[in-house]
Amino acid sequence: MGLSRRTYHSPRREAAARDTRRAVFAAARQAFAVGGYEGTTLATIARAAGVSLATVKLVEPTKSRLLVRAIEDVVRSDDTSLPLVEQAWWMDLVVEPDAARLLGTLAGRISGALERQVDLLEVVRQAARSEPELARLEEQGSLGRRADLGTVVTALAARGDLRADLSAADATDVLWAIASPQLYALLVRRGGWTSERWAVWLGDSLVRLLIRGQATAATL
């Protein structure tokens, strides 16, 4: 007579594991922001998180992947298992009936995320020059961001809000480009803009560039 195997489920243990992952991600973000990619090790992150090196490797076994996961953790909300486009706030966003309000809300969300991410994204960009794995992950992340933003354009086009002379593909490229981390870094980190100013400018620009019946020249 065989023994049945039962899966052990412990909410407390799962919560502790989530807390550990979050602590490792937070320590990784701080370490990479201060030391850059070359100056950061998994051991450094383990010490900052107050866990063992083995624990860090269980979260992510390589430094490059841990860097990317630490950035992804900022993007996601409380439920890190859900892709961005399946999270409640995003689904509410794409059904917002007022196009200007939709784009303004999106701009604010993007600005808030980039304020927390942009320094690490710069670490990824620089490290990608010598790390093929990071180069691939950077490209995948960029294309993933374009795909997510494309769902906003699809929603606008389905309601007839998109400019008639602009294809959905071109509109997605416009949104992808001007909401990019690179442009944020140029205007906020180097140009001295506040994140709030950038968010207002981005929302206004998106309305002017994408929405039917609006002027096509965005102003600063």
Do 100 and 194 belong to one domain?
Answer: yes
Residue 210 has pLDDT above 60, yes or no: yes
The SS3 of residue 79 is: coil
Last residue of a domain, one of 75, 102, 129: 75
Last residue of a domain, one of 41, 75, 109: 75
1 lies in some domain: no
Domain that holds residue 69: 11-75
Q: State the pLDDT at residue 214.
A: 77
Residues contacting 195, CB < 8 A, separation 6+: 111, 112, 114, 115, 188
Count of domains in the chain?
2
Per-residue model confidence as pLDDT tens digits over 8-65: 567 888 888 889 999 999 999 999 989 999 999 999 999 999 999 999 999 999 998 8
User: How many CA atoms lie within 13 Å of 70's alpha carbon, on the beta-carbon side?
Assistant: 31
Do 170 and 192 belong to one domain?
Answer: yes
150 lies in some domain: yes
Do 101 and 206 belong to one domain?
Answer: yes
- Sequence-ordered alpha helix ranges (H) in 60-187: 63-75, 88-94, 99-127, 132-158, 168-178, 181-184
Do 64 and 91 belong to one domain?
Answer: no
Tokens for 67, please give them. 């860097």
Q: State the pLDDT at residue 141.
A: 86
Do 102 and 148 belong to one domain?
Answer: yes
Do 54 and 111 belong to one domain?
Answer: no
Per-residue model confidence as pLDDT tens digits over 93-108: 999 999 999 999 999 9
Phi and psi torsions of 65, nearest 5°: -70, -35
Residue 218's pLDDT band (cuts 50, 70, 90): very low
